[in-house]
Structure 1
Amino acid sequence: MPVRGWVEPNLAALRTVPMLYVLTLSCHDRRGLVHAVSGFLLERGGNIEEAAQYNDPNTGLFFMRVQFSCEGIGFEALQAQLDAFALPFQMQWALHDPAQPTRTVLFVSKEGHCLNDLLFRWKTAQLPIDVRAIVSNHREFEALAASYGVPFHHIPVLAGNKPEAEARQLDVLRAQRAELVVLARYMQILSNDFCQQLCGRAINIHHSFLPSFKGAKPYHQAHDRGVKLIGATAHYVTADLDEGPIIEQDVVRVDHSHTVADLTSLGRDTESHVLARAVRWHCEHRVLRNGHKTVIFRS
């Protein structure tokens, strides 16, 4: 006999909870692309919840990001059908499960403001990442890593041992199945081979509004030039130092009364905010590479 007040659960409804997906794609622009993508999703019971597209008039390329829910079809099956759909358009595409946080390894040297900010945002669910390890050429932040329960790998980089050090770093990345590497003020120049292995999945924060004041001590350079704005730039890592595709930038106003120490302090806050936004957009699959530039579909 049913208990008074008891509502029988709808088991069929529970079994068909829609899955959420993010589809990103790019191809040469042609008429009807938005209609084709929308129709493909509609035919499979997809419900578009967020969509954005961009046509680059200089390259003739089309970019699109679609967030949609769908039921009755699994991830692998949807991938296979997308593969067939994309072929005649010569699309580059990727299907993502936004419920899965991005497996991330953080690199740092002796300045920890960006590291500390990313760890806090991760633990407070402000970033869709899963920090699997911290790699450093110094030991300054070993205790910080332990306080967050994150494995810490001290890998010194000395004159003449860079190949061995990078090999150990790659071992860590493979062991953690890292999908993203964040250089949170890691003050070592990466080799060309290392950069190529991390292509499209390594983000660096540069304490300058690139392309100005590249290289070392940009705040000293900015102070010497008497700038009125200082900034920070988050970009993808490439073999060309500080030349990778830019993801995010920001600035803060300064004046003649500010010292180098003042600029550095103001800059650290800007660096932390810029890097966090870049990491979030990357992990939400809002960044599409467009040659040496990026297309950002912000929320």
Structure 2
Amino acid sequence: MSAPASASRHPVRAWVSGWQNAARLLPEEVPVALVYDGATQAVMMASPADLADFLLGFALTEGLIASAAELTATEIVPQPRGIEARAWLVPGAAARLAARRRAMAGPVGCGLCGIDSIAEALRALPRAVPTSGPRLGPQAPAAALTALAAAQPLHAETRATHAAGFWLPDAGLVSVREDVGRHNALDKLAGALSRGQAEISAGVLVLTSRISVDLVQKAAMIGARVLIGAAAPTALAVAEAEAAAITLVARVRGDSFDVYSHPQRINGEGQA
């Protein structure tokens, strides 16, 4: 049995100066069980594409593994009502897995559902060196989001998905992942980037969504220095970005944008 396609066509009754029959592409949303060493760590509602990236990226951004090398094998197994994405870890990662246990059914709008303690929800994050990372001109936020908007085929068809991209000042957009869930898209991107030669600290993570605290946490866990979002952040997301020395840019509208933390990476403004 193969995994379902990421979108399917559905009939609708459309009003366009009168009723007419039409068909619309809608994104698929399926339960995906993320299974590590035979135990289900999370069940997420997700788009059924790039699931090997999702499995790896989730393990990285949630601190289950320290690098892609700690994941030894993967298997994507369609089930009658969902998909199991299975991974096996090196022995040393098992202890981190036990410490970071989740049992969750995560809707697409929330990346922290199922966390069983406040301490786990607000875990300590690695702090970047404030002087490290890319130096960006004021045109970079709009350029990064414009490039991301042009690289979302699933969203172009359905108008119902999020995307996460990795943008380099000297190379443009080098990787994109889409999903019905904004945090799923970032996890998939994290998994994809961990397999390549890209130095995450040298570029920008760019997201189509608002910036919530779980997205800042995931960005910090993979060593990002700059996080750009189309919409506004939450207050807690700003506080966590400040603590992790991440430059958080949001509310990008044409040539205007807001920098909420560590502005020194944008055109030399601010202090470390």
Q: What is the TM-score of this pair, normalised by structure 2?
A: 0.25
Q: Name the TM-score, length of structure 1 as normaliser.
A: 0.23
The answer to which structure, 1 or 2, has the higher relative contact order (CA under 8 A, 6+ apart) is: 2
Pair member with larger Rg:
1
